[in-house]
Amino acid sequence: MKDNVKRVFYVRYVAHPCYLDIIAQRPEIRLDKLENDAVDAAEPIITAAHAYQIGSARDELAPRFHARRELLVRMPNLLVVSTNGAGFDTVDIKDCTDAGVLVVNQTGGNAEAVAAHVLAMVLALSKQIIQTNHALRRGTMRDRTVFMGNDVKGRTIGIVGIGNVGRRIAELCRGLLGMQVIACDPYLDEKTIAARGAIKVTLDELLRRADFVSINCPLDESTRGMIGAREFALMQPHAYFITTARGFIHDERALAEALREKKIAGAGIDVWDKEPPPVDHPLLQFDNVLATPHTAGMTREARANMGRIAAEQLVTTLDGKRPPRIVNPQVWPAYAKRFEEAFGFRPAG
């Protein structure tokens, strides 16, 4: 007879305490917590684990706990890796797929928060709120007309990746602000993008036309380094670059150079190669850069939503049902076979 205990662990924290409350309602699920510095104590827990609830912020999770081959070989029973957020920087999708491990994320759970953050950056940049704030605090305000802003009505926002977050940005910018919306997304056709409130264009066309460029795609091998010196050179001198996606999608040095040479008007940056960035980071030296420390998706409501979605999806998965947010669907046959070997029945779907 198969052991009915389903073992789950996490490192440091989960998205919200409601995650713990939901899991606690299922007595057959054992949930263990580890710390980043756990070594000997971690081994029996990870060896027995069927599921790993993993943090999405790579710099908050010790590299030894990133879901890569080195860790996976020590986890023979692992079936599922579930991220705390929409991103999966801490997960090597290929390594998990090769190991027959299903990866799920919580995409859409913080879409409202991230879209509002992008909207705030659009308004703050266009109205030069950052510069006037600095000038007032430094006592250097002399002529307020120097900080003349621009209306956003009728301007064009280009959205790179029009998924859950991107479509909400499109809705807000078009409906609330009266902006034109164009989008680049290689996974969606023209009709689908139109249904999400935008006109489909290529990346190069988007960069040439947009007054605001918003990056909202996941970080993977196809998007790593996607925005570099060539791409910034395509943008208009009055345009703004905004990213709330993931570090490493854009080249930070190339962005600093574009700002230094006034090839673009400014930037709103929420994600960094190293998080948080050091105080002497070149991009933090520009008054026309609005910088936040990967907080776009952090609202009380979003965190509660992410915790609830993560717990409910993991319970669904461990119950033998097909979860709704699979990152690597190609692994399903291998995963289903391993699930049956572990629990004595094959998952549905």
**pLDDT attached to residue 263:** 97
Domain range 6-108+300-343, CATH architecture = 3-Layer(aba) Sandwich (3.40)
Q: Give dist(CA 139, CA 96) in Å, integer.
A: 55
pLDDT at residue 57, rounded to an integer = 86
pLDDT, residue 31, reads 97
Q: How many CB atoms lie within 10 A of CB 93?
A: 18
How do beta strands 156-160 and 212-215 pair?
parallel
Residue 313 contacts residue 14 (beta carbons within 8 Å): no
Q: State how far the Cα of 271 lies from the Cα of 214, in Å rounded to an integer.
A: 12
Task: Give catalytic residue positions.
Answer: 246, 275, 294
Is 127 exposed, middle or buried, given 0-12, 13-18 or 19+ CB atoms closer than 10 A? Answer: middle
pTM equals: 0.92
Helical spans, DSSP H, in the chain: 17-24, 42-48, 69-72, 93-98, 111-126, 129-138, 164-175, 190-195, 203-209, 229-234, 252-260, 300-318, 332-343
Residue pair 228/254 in contact (Cβ under 8 Å)? The answer is yes
pLDDT score of 105: 95
Q: What is the pLDDT along the chain (349 residues), one digit of tens a residue?
A: 356 899 999 999 999 999 999 999 999 999 999 999 988 889 999 999 999 999 988 889 999 999 999 999 999 999 999 999 888 889 999 999 999 999 999 999 999 999 999 999 999 999 999 999 999 999 998 899 999 999 999 999 999 999 999 999 999 999 999 999 999 999 999 999 999 999 999 999 999 999 999 999 999 889 999 999 999 999 999 999 999 999 999 999 999 999 999 999 999 999 999 999 999 999 999 999 999 999 999 999 999 999 999 999 999 999 999 999 999 999 999 999 999 999 999 999 8
Greatest CA separation found in the chain?
Answer: 80
The pLDDT value recorded for residue 95 is 97
**27-59 CB burial, b ≥16 within 10 A, e <16:** eebbbbebeeebeeebeebbebbbbbbbbbebb
Q: Where in the chain is the domain with CATH 3.40.50.720?
A: 6-108+300-343, 111-291
Q: With 0-12 CB in 10 A as exposed, 13-18 as middle and 19+ as buried, what is 197?
A: buried
Residue 338 is predicted with a pLDDT of 98
pLDDT in tens, 297-335: 999 999 999 999 999 999 999 999 999 999 999 999 999
**Domain 111-291: which topology?**
Rossmann fold (3.40.50)
